[in-house]
Amino acid sequence: MKTQYSPLFEKMTFRSGVQLKNRIVMAPMTNFSSHEDGTVSDAEVNFYVRRSNGVGMVITACTYVTPNGKGFQGEFAADRDEMIPSLQRLATAIKEQGAKAILQIFHGGRSCPPELVPNGDIVSASAVPEEKEGSVTPRALTDSEVEAIVVDFREATRRAIEAGYDGVEIHGANGYLIQQFFSPHSNRRDDKWGGSLEKRLTFPLAIVDEIKRVVAEYAKGSFLIGYRFSPEEEEEEGITMADTLKLVDALADKELDYIHVSLFDFWSTPRRGIEDDGRSRMEWIQEIAGDRVPVIGVGSIHTPDDAIKALEMGVPLIALGREIIIEPDWVSLVEGGRESDIKTTLTKEDQERLVVPSPLWNAIMHTPGWFPVVESSNK
């Protein structure tokens, strides 16, 4: 390994006691490949096994905590105890490769396709549809239903503990239900769950508190809790960077193991809500989080030099998403001094070599611009 890359391979111990062998995380990525009954498939397990032997930690694709939260075709389930063996199979497969296994728990809210949820009953904080063609207007959850979903997140965490995971990541990003409650665009409530910014924080923080309680009760060893969020929304009335800094401040007070910023570009700058002083969103977030809670950064970090640059900004952990699909051996190549062998493009013939399930592969091939697909293999 080249000396300049050694910071990527420093160990890290979280507040909970969970220790990572290095600073590289596999980002959560939906693969659309679970069985119809919500159990994980062989193809899905093999996809993770191929990518779990170098990174310090693997965050799984999101798993739904209740039947009306299923957001994707081929998403795996954590909504009932019958799913524990399936969950355990995935956790064991990841851990056997030497990585920590983190289960990302989720409710899709108004983003769920009607055909995937019972009776097509799409729910959200308020009856406000997404601003895109064909969107369904969701039904506003009642107070008791909101309380029940908080419990659903708690129960999914208990199942993660019983299945042998090393932690959970609360999926509060990418426009799904938790973010829908925090957003002034999608949350128009006037009860304890909405109205002011402080009330819009009630649902996310209630989930954090409930999960902390169940971990304290059930986890026999170290078990971490992380939280993922998106810093801004495109909608005019949506989340601003100023709102997000309030969220970060509140999450830092909760003594979580980490917060995880969902970005397509690590170096992107704020859209609105705060003074434009040239700093990136990550720099603003790091300033608020500081030494209170570790931050995972992600987004267009392709090379080890990119990763080192990100670490030098003060962020202690780097997540790789598309990069680790294109190059499953990214970490071991850097560690072995062979970073020049890291592939940065795909060809249409690479599916079998890269052990990518067909539903994900088809999505990659039919979504122009998402992945760098070329005619022939090159660097």
Show which residues are catalytic.
176
Angstrom distance (rounded) from CA 202 to CA 365: 40
- In a 3-state reduction of DSSP, which class is residue 379? coil
Find all residues with CB under 8 Å of 42, minimum gap 6, and list them.
none
Give the distance from CA 64 to its chain's centroid: 13
Beta strands in 131-191 (DSSP E): 139-140, 167-172
- In a 3-state reduction of DSSP, which class is residue 261? strand
Taking alpha carbons only, the member of 40, 62, 58, 60 closest to residue 96 is: 58
Find all residues with CB under 8 Å of 333, minimum gap 6, and list them.
327, 339, 341, 342
Taking alpha carbons only, the member of 246, 243, 244, 259 closest to residue 292 is: 259
Local structure of residue 367 (DSSP, 8 states) = S
The torsion region of residue 355 among left (phi > 0), alpha (psi -120 to 50) and beta comes to left
Cβ–Cβ < 8 Å for 176, 107: yes
Angle at which helix 202-218 crosses helix 143-163, to 10 degrees, equals: 30
Angstrom distance (rounded) from CA 68 to CA 65: 9
Angstrom distance (rounded) from CA 219 to CA 202: 25
- In a 3-state reduction of DSSP, which class is residue 102? strand
Angstrom distance (rounded) from CA 238 to CA 232: 7
